[in-house]
Amino acid sequence: MMAIVGSAVGLGNIWRFPYLAGMNGGAAFLLLYLGLILLVGLPMILSEFILGRATHRGAVGSFKQLAPRSRWYLVGYMGVAAGFCILGFYSVIAGWSVRFLYDAVVNAHAGLSQEEITAGFNAFKNSGWQPILLSTGFLGLTALVVFKGVEKGVERWNKILMPLLIGILLVLCVNSLTLEGFREGMTFLFRPDFSKITANTVLDALGQVFFTLSLGMGVMITYSSYVVKSENMLRSKGIVVLIDTSIAIIAGIAIFPAVFTFQINPTEGPDLIFLTLPNIFARMAGGQYVGILFFLLITIAALTSIVSIFEMMTNYLMEELKMTRRRAVWWLFGTLSVLSALCAQSQVEGSGLRIGNLNVFDLLDLLSANYLMTVGGLLIVLFVGWHISEKRLRRVFTSNGRYNNRLFPVFRFVVRYLSPVAVAVIFLSKIGLIRG
Ligand code: PFF
């Protein structure tokens, strides 16, 4: 359970959610996100659990076992591809948080103005080599954790660190109350302006649901293959979803009042929290220490998420390509270092590493969350809803009739009809076939 929370809670909640909410009109995005968590996120996480639990195999293996002689296993491969894209940019952001941790330790932002903080951050990104060094270092650390198989240790830490992370976010929320921009921030986050909703907003909200719950790519299938059979699945997954969603909302409450107080543009994009947080810490009593703890915690939250993807891919290389663990880890570390370096370099001002108006970093972010994970997820719910027999599905969902018997038909209806239709409609409206 803690490993699953560790995978779900990460930069997606604290970095990605606020930046996307900022770009997509705040409250309207939040509302869509919450709706889609219930309509698609929860059924989806349950579906992945059912696959892992029914087969005790990983992303590719579970499809091979349940649907031999078919091409369903390709869904597992899509997950591996998505993992590759995510690790490329996620490790760059993880590297940024290490840099901010360092800044907090040496109190580098004390007394600086908003402009100076922004200029410092831009100089860091534009140096090219600094973010590359940090993301490579972070991948090295991840490789070490996966190689040593110390996930168990990390899990144990999680139990202490996760409540601590929530505690700190709550302290920041209380601090937000004292900021001038509190009202404006709250209005932005909680009063929806429906005119802001476009097909892109809805797709971004859907992508975020998948991203934040680590869905659509078999990570949850892999993790659930270790779970004892008698657990009340609906309850435990419900708790995971609740914790994950709460952390994102609390992060929003902590950040948006500051965004308006320090007159940062909420549509800033991926830089948003890194421009906002140092200001909060620099102006808060004891801010340096809160800052150190905060960046330490999100660095660890990032590590547990990265480890979950890295582990899933290592498993795949070992099971399907018969590599040894050592070889698989080296191989992944090497290729991912190159990819993350490309991502970091593409953010340097004037870099030619772009396709159309997106740099490589933004492209991988968008491609993985909005397309690979969502299409993977759509196929997984279709598989669970239509390919697995009702009897078998009921047995796994209810732990042989022990829990949630009454809710089973609801679940089955949702995965057969509601979730796939919701995802399909979002895609069709995105490509312009349906107009809202
Ligand atoms: N859920 C993680 C986050 O919110 O930061 C990111 C993530 C982890 C995505 C694992 C996908 C995944 F397989």
pLDDT at position 65: 93
Kindly give the number of the ligand 1 atom that is closest to the alpha carbon of 312. Answer: 13
Question: Tokens at residue 254, please?
Answer: 């902590």
**Greatest CA separation for the chain:** 65
Q: Whose CA is nearest to atom 13 of ligand 1?
A: 214
- Pocket of ligand 1 from Cβ distances under 6 Å: 7-8, 10-13, 86, 211-212, 214, 217, 219, 305, 308-309
Rg over CA atoms, the chain: 21
Q: Give, for ligand 1, the residue of 5, 45, 151, 214 to mutate: max count of ligand atoms closer than 8 Å to Cβ.
A: 214
Give residues with Cβ within 8 angstroms of 388, minimum separation 6. 50, 54, 66
pLDDT at position 154: 61
How far is ligand 1, taken at its centre, from the CA of residue 300, in Å? 13
pLDDT at position 216: 92
- How confident is the model over 174-183, as pLDDT tens digits? 999 999 999 9
pLDDT at position 82: 94
How far is ligand 1, taken at its centre, from the CA of residue 434, in Å? 30
Residues of the chain falling short of pLDDT 50: 436
Q: Whose CA is nearest to atom 12 of ligand 1?
A: 214
Phi, psi of 25 (to 5 degrees): 85, 15
Give residues with Cβ within 8 angstroms of 410, minimum separation 6. none
Cut 0.75: pTM above it: yes
Kindly give the number of the ligand 1 atom that is closest to the alpha carbon of 244. Answer: 4
- The CB-side HSE value for 332 (13 A sphere, CA atoms) comes to 36
Answer yes or no: are the C-beta atoms of 18 and 272 closer than 8 Å.
yes
Q: Give, for ligand 1, the residue of 15, 158, 211 to mutate: max count of ligand atoms closer than 8 Å to Cβ.
A: 211
How far is ligand 1, taken at its centre, from the CA of residue 83, in Å? 9
How far is ligand 1, taken at its centre, from the CA of residue 212, in Å? 5
